[in-house]
Chains A and B, each alone.
Chain A
Amino acid sequence: MISSANKRVDEPVYWALFGAGGMWSAIFAPAAILIVCFLIPLGVIDNTAAYAGMKSFCAGFLGRVFTLCMIALPIWCGMHRIHHCLHDMKVHCLGLKGLCYGLAAILSVVAVFLVCSF
């Protein structure tokens, strides 16, 4: 039976954040992880100069936005996936959506404070 009320759902908001997170995780995050976790520790990039460069980059506006995206967007992507995977596994408990997206929102707010405190 078709529902008579076509109330708009709020999924576009989460889907947009999921999409942005997915793109970030696929494009920017691997590059950042490669540089920070491998190239610098292995000495491919000079440690001292790299640290100073990253520090000054993260202190700037673009650097703060980059760091915020680096932390927050993959969280939204991951929590969206977890939420929908649980739906696929027929786990439907009250407040699950609030828990998943609420956690992502809290961590995003923490990330905002973090990048503002550099």
Chain B
Amino acid sequence: MKTLKMAIARYNPEVDDKPRFEDFHVPYDNQTSLLDALAYIKDALAPDLTYRSSCRMAICGSCGMMADGIPKLACKTFLRDYAGAGKVTLEALGNFPIERDLVVDLTHFLECIEALKPYLIGNTRTPADGANRQTPEQIAKFHQFTHCINCALCYAACPQFGLNPAFAGPGSISLAYRYNLDSRDNGKQERMPMLNGPEGVWNCTFVGVCSEVCPKNVDPAAAIQQCKVESALDFARSVINCQKEKEVR
């Protein structure tokens, strides 16, 4: 069986000052994913290797990591793609604090999701009223953004998030925008203050790499640019109306 050299960034906060690389030689075939390889290493070579995973089918978004410096889902990336180079380097997801080995602290991302309220707000329908009805056109407006699996690969790719860790980031803004576009939702005014604020959409300089690395083909860069238009209109409205901004939190 063929083998591939995998250089994996190891980090134990109790021992290491910074991540160090450890090499493993992993047998693989055409169906071996990075996640399969990590499971092999944990079972056979390094039982203390730490990584996150769950569904193995690019749905849960748990196994994000840097493969040769590019954010990837380990379950959706295959060793065969690195056979030409003869080696693959795995590191913890970029731009996030590392907890241990390949596990990062996603607290900021989760707090941003919570703060941007990605759920239906102000919909007064009750079960007795029946289901909400939407036209295909209304669904098409936000449908692609519903594919986000919160894997945070876009955060690892985003240079602006790297420069400013307070930035709400592509994933959470896409989710907020998804609900702003939803005809069943009435919560836009609760989301706009954060989108308009110092942690909001204006940190983005439209590098676009968030959309390139998204494993579900969501286009967060488009969501942010469209959000900028919304934010600019909101700004103009506030000037015209001379309204004082309300702090929602």
Contacts and interface: CB of A to CB of B under 8 A. Distances in A.
Interface of A: 1-9, 11-13, 15-16, 84, 87-88, 90
A8 B245 contact: yes
Contacts of B108: 1
Q: Which of A8, A11, A84, A90 has the most CB of B within 10 A?
A: A8
A8 B205 contact: no
A87 B163 contact: yes
B112 interface: yes
A6 B163 contact: no
Given A11-B202, A12-B235, A88-B163, A5 B111 contact: no
Consensus secondary structure, chain B interface: helix
B231 A6 contact: no
A16 B202 CA distance: 12
A15 to B, nearest CB: 6
B46 interface: no
A2 B111 contact: yes
Given A2-B111, A2-B249, A9 B232 contact: no
A28 B245 CA distance: 37
Given A13-B235, A16-B232, A88-B205, A8 B111 contact: no
Contact of B111 (A1, A16, A90): A1
Interface stretch (B54-62, B75-83, B90-98, B191-199): B191-199
A7 B247 CA distance: 8
Contacts of B111: 1-2
B32 to A, nearest CB: 38
Q: Which of A3, A12, A87, A90 has the most CB of B within 10 A?
A: A12
Given A6-B193, A6-B197, A8-B238, A15 B249 contact: no
B104 interface: no
Interface in B176-231: 193-194, 196-200, 202, 205, 228, 231
